[in-house]
Every structure is written in structure tokens, then in C-alpha cells.
């Protein structure tokens, strides 16, 4: 999906919500455990229920890998289901990959060519040749970690160099030599509040993928106040607060209600 | 495997070689493609042939994930085979993971508890809470990316802060507040040559996992000159130069010859 198609989706549906499919076998409703593939059954129900209220889905690979081969089967089934039934939704594999060039190229082939995923989160520590293999695909995106939502984001990302530039700013600046606002986004945690202003100084046009509202405590209003652009420029993710809002047989309906609440807030906040 | 057991293995076998199982379906001998699981068949033959000459094996997850569900089956079969037949070998999953705390905890459970892998490579960008969940397992290791072997390592890892400390040095120093030389190693690329001296100033006792000899051009002598400690302190990885040394039916024998050559060099270089 290219940038204009994403923007069109956002303004047509009046939402920039991404539903995080962090599906944990220990947290899904018990009755699903009778299914052949409980993880996929859960995802399918959540997707069908929340699709009108979001523009993107983001499975975090860790949750699937933790189940080994079975988890990969559920992951692939979920991606296939999304591709076949919701081609207008942007699919993000939250994988936080990044390796030497030939290995990154391998990851790119897997996620972009074979699975037809739209975007992949990538860790920047290994630099240019770990990122550029992901930028060779028309309509596909790298989402580079910049300023994350967790406490540990302070350990290295805020380190200031001799010229007064912080590491996350250097990541934003330097990576714009490799890609642009049509094939690159950045992860910026919702918990970073006013720091979005600093992000926008270096990356005024790029879309930002924003985790951390809901369970992690970030504020949607604050993110929009400091981070929104005329094109919206934000994809805001919520995982646990939506997908685990209810654990009975009504779980998908309740997830839809929660997603709808966030979407209504978002409609108010769009330019 | 704990530190003393690893050191004992190294000095008993007189080798500190790690064989990288970067197994690519496009590069393995053609006759293996007739097997049910060609990737596992290749790994099994390589492991059986090279085991006397190395102390560790390191599958890079990217190569397995690139084959989706099938790849995970091959990966799990390889780990199981190593655990059952070569319990004295140190198993490293080269995954370069790192995510917010609860997600890292999930990865730790997968690789350490369920798969009984000894060590996992982890990317430091997200800081403390992305790393510490991996340090909660007795006899298990985090191998943190410090100064990698690729060209892109210059982009961020060498950034100097206002106090004159480079980012890789900060990673080395800061991470020693979270773990120690008994549960943490660092990735330092063989291509970094004399920089090993700087690494040893900050991390005098830690084991270093050193990729980049062979196909990537690093020098074993140089790595040892600047990076070796009285306990050896090095696990040096070679992947392509060993496992793809030959593509005929003799591939495993030739891999063994190559591994043996490196091991003989290593025996000379050990203190």
C-alpha cells in the first residue's frame, strides 16, 4: 500500500487506529481453546469485528514465535486472511529485525514477497546496510525504531553526541539518506508526549507508528497535539486494551466497541 | 551451559570455533533436495562432521524464517538434534531480538525454556527492560550487539557523546549494570581489528562472539591479538566459508576439513 492510499483510507474511514494482534494463548477466551487453531480463530474474530474502526493490523512476531511451529502456522493464516479479505488494511509485521545486508535481504523477501506484508519494524543499531534491503520494494515500508515507548528508551536513544544531537534524532536524520516519506516510517512511543515536537523538527512528513496508548499509558490527545500533520501522519496502535477487553464469548463484540470508542476520538482529532 | 563449562570445552578441545548454520535452501547440495527436510538433513550432516572442531553452533533465525512454517520445523529439529546428541556444544540462536519488557520475556521463554538454547543475540537499542528478561535464566546468556561486522556499524555505533564515549562503549558499560560476565557476552565483528583493544578496556572479562572471519574478511590472528583473554574470551564464528565449502555429495567432509583447519589455527593461538 502506498502513502496516498494509506492517507485516503484514514480520511475516508476517519480513523488512524492500528489494532495490535499480540495474541497470547494464555489470554484468549477459554472456549476458543477447542478450535484447531485457537490463535487464528481469535485473530479472525477480532479482525472481522474491528475492521470498520481501524486502518491497520500489527501482529507482534514474538507472540507467534513463542509457540514455535504452531505459532508460525497461526501467523501465516492470519496474514493470508487479511490479504484475502481486507486488502484495504495496512499490515505491519512487528518483528524489530535488522541484520547484516544479506540477512536483512532474506527477511525482506520473506515478509514482503512471500507474505505480502506492507511494512516491517526494523531496529536501527546495525546501520545502513541492515535497513536498505527493505527499501527495495515498491509500496512496501520500513518502520524504523526511533524513540520507543518503554522505560529503556532512555538508556541509549536519548544519548547526546558532541554536536548536541540525540541518538534518536540521528537515526531520523541519517535514515533519510536511505529512504523517504514514501517508504519509511518511524516508531515513536505514545508515552513520549511532548517529544513528538522534536521528532517533527527532523521528520516533518513521515508517518509515525505510535504504540503505547492504552495499557502502556500514553495519551492520544497529546500524541495528536504534538505529532499530527496535515496528512494525519500517525498510525496509533492499541493492542491489549482492545483485544483483551473481554474474555467471554462476547470478546469480539467488546473489542469492536473499544475500537469504535478510540476511532470516534480519532475522528474528532483528525485535521 | 555456564562460563566455566564453556572455558573447559575450549581448552579441552583446543578450539573456540562456532559454526554458523546459515542454511539456505538455494545453496545446499542438490542431492539433499530429495530429502523430506533438506535443511535439517544438511544441518545434521554438517553438525556430525564438524562437532570435533567447534564448541558452538549458531543458526541465524533469518534463514529459517525465510522458509516460513517449514523453516521453523527445520530450526526446531536442528535444536532438538543438538540438544540430544551434542549437549557439550553451546547453542546460540542468532535472532537479534529486543522488544518491550513483556515481549522480550516471551522471547526468553521460547528460546531458553522451550527450546533449551544456551544464548540469544539481542539488539540493545531499546535499553534495559528489553534486555533484562533474558538474564533471568541460570546458565543462559544474552549476547548483546556491540560493534558489528558490517559497514553500517559506523552509522550509529561509533557516535561519540558529549563525554567522548562512543555508543558501543556505552552499550558495553551500561549493560554491565544489568548483567555480568557469567550471563552476558557481546557481538564484536572480526572486521573491527584493533578496536578489540578498546572493547577490552570496557569489558575485560566478557566473552565476545565474533562473526566476520571467512566470507566477510576479518582476520583471526588480529582478533586474537587484540581480543583474547586468559580464559580465551572469544567464540569466533564462521558460516559460509565452512558450510558451503563444497556443494557435492562430499560437502560434509569438506566442511569438516575447513573447520579442522580453523581449529588448528586456533589451537596455536590459545594462551
Its pTM stands at 0.96
A230 belongs to the catalytic site:
no
Of B106, B157, B161, the CB nearest to A162: B161
pLDDT above 80 for A154: yes
pLDDT above 90 for A193: no
Is B188 an 8 Å CB contact of chain A? Answer: no
Backbone angles phi, psi at A24, to 5 degrees: -120, 120
pLDDT value of position B218: 87
Domain that holds residue A257: 3-269
CA distance B7 to chain A (A): 28
pLDDT value of position A214: 77
Q: What is the mean pLDDT of residues B59-83?
A: 95
Tens-place pLDDT, residues B7-62: 999 999 999 999 999 999 999 999 999 999 999 999 999 999 999 999 999 999 99
pLDDT value of position A48: 98
CATH number at residue A58: 3.20.20.70
pLDDT value of position A117: 98
* DSSP line for A84-110: HH-TTSEEEEEEEE--SHHHHHHHHII
- pLDDT tier at B156, thresholds 50, 70, 90: very high
Closest-CA residue to B122 (of B85, B90, B94): B94
Q: What share of chain A in percent tops pLDDT 70?
A: 100
Residue-level length of chain B = 271
Residue B39 grid coordinates: 535443511
Is A32 an 8 Å CB contact of chain B? Answer: no
The ipTM (two decimal places) reads 0.94
Tens-place pLDDT, residues A65-84: 988 899 999 999 999 999 99
Is A63 an 8 Å CB contact of chain B? Answer: yes
pLDDT value of position B193: 86
* DSSP line for B213-258: BGGG-B-HHHHHHHH-BTTB-EEEEE-HHHHTS--STTHHHHHHHH
Q: How many domains does chain A have?
A: 1
Is A145 an 8 Å CB contact of chain B? Answer: yes
Pairs of CB atoms within 8 A across A/B: 173
pLDDT value of position A101: 87
- pLDDT tier at A258, thresholds 50, 70, 90: very high
Tens-place pLDDT, residues B222-263: 999 999 999 999 999 999 999 999 999 999 999 999 999 999
Average pLDDT value over all residues in chain B: 96
Tens-place pLDDT, residues A20-52: 999 999 999 999 999 999 999 999 999 999 999
- Picking from A116, A150, A171 by the largest number of B CB atoms within 10 A of its own CB, the best residue to mutate is A150
| Sequence-separated contacts (24+) of A173-181 with Cβ below 8 Å | A173/A202, A174/A128, A174/B155, A174/B156, A175/A124, A175/A131, A175/A144, A176/A203, A177/A128, A178/A128, A178/A131, A178/A132, A178/A135, A179/A131, A179/A132, A179/A135, A179/A142, A181/A3, A181/A205, A181/A206, A181/A207
pLDDT value of position A215: 73
CB A198 within 8 A of CB A165: no
- Picking from A97, A99, A165, A239 by the largest number of B CB atoms within 10 A of its own CB, the best residue to mutate is A99
CA distance B159 to chain A (A): 7
pLDDT value of position B216: 78
Handedness of CA B7, B9, B15, B20 (dihedral sign): negative
Tens-place pLDDT, residues A201-229: 999 999 999 998 877 788 999 999 999 99
pLDDT above 90 for B215: no
pLDDT value of position A253: 98
Q: Give the residue carrying C-alpha cell 512476531.
A: A61
Is A26 an 8 Å CB contact of chain B? Answer: no
- pLDDT tier at A59, thresholds 50, 70, 90: very high
DSSP-derived secondary structure letter, A207: -
Closest-CA residue to A263 (of A92, A51, A85, A3): A51
Chain A CB contacts of B59 under 8 Å are none
Amino acid at each position: 500500500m502506498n502513502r496516498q492510499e494509506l492517507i485516503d483510507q484514514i480520511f475516508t474511514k476517519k480513523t488512524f487506529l492500528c489494532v495490535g494482534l499480540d495474541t497470547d494463548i494464555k489470554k484468549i477466551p477459554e472456549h476458543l481453546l477447542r478450535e484447531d487453531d485457537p490463535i487464528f480463530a481469535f485473530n479472525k474474530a477480532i479482525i472481522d469485528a474491528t475492521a470498520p474502526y481501524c486502518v491497520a493490523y500489527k501482529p507482534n512476531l514474538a507472540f507467534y514465535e513463542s509457540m514455535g511451529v504452531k505459532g508460525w502456522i497461526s501467523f501465516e493464516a492470519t496474514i493470508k486472511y487479511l490479504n484475502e479479505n481486507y486488502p484495504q488494511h495496512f499490515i505491519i509485521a512487528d518483528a524489530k529485525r535488522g541484520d547484516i545486508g544479506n540477512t536483512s535481504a532474506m527477511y525482506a523477501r520473506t515478509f514482503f514477497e512471500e507474505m505480502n506484508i506492507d511494512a516491517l519494524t526494523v531496529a536501527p543499531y546495525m546501520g545502513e546496510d541492515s535497513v536498505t534491503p527493505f527499501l527495495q520494494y515498491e509500496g512496501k515500508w520500513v518502520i524504523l525504531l526511533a524513540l520507543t515507548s518503554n522505560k529503556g528508551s532512555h538508556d541509549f536513544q536519548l544519548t547526546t553526541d558532541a554536536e548536541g544531537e540525540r541518538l534518536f534524532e540521528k537515526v531520523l536524520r541519517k535514515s533519510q539518506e536511505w529512504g523517504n516519506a514514501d517508504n519509511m516510517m518511524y516508531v515513536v512511543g505514545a508515552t513520549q508526549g511532548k517529544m513528538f515536537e522534536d521528532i517533527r523538527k527532523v521528520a516533518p512528513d513521515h508517518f509515525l507508528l505510535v504504540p503505547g496508548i492504552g495499557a502502556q499509558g500514553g495519551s492520544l490527545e497529546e500524541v495528536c497535539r504534538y505529532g499530527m500533520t496535515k496528512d494525519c501522519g500517525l498510525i496509533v496502535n492499541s493492542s491489549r486494551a482492545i483485544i483483551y477487553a473481554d474474555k467471554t464469548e462476547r470478546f469480539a463484540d467488546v473489542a469492536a466497541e473499544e475500537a469504535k470508542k478510540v476511532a470516534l476520538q480519532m475522528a474528532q482529532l483528525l485535521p
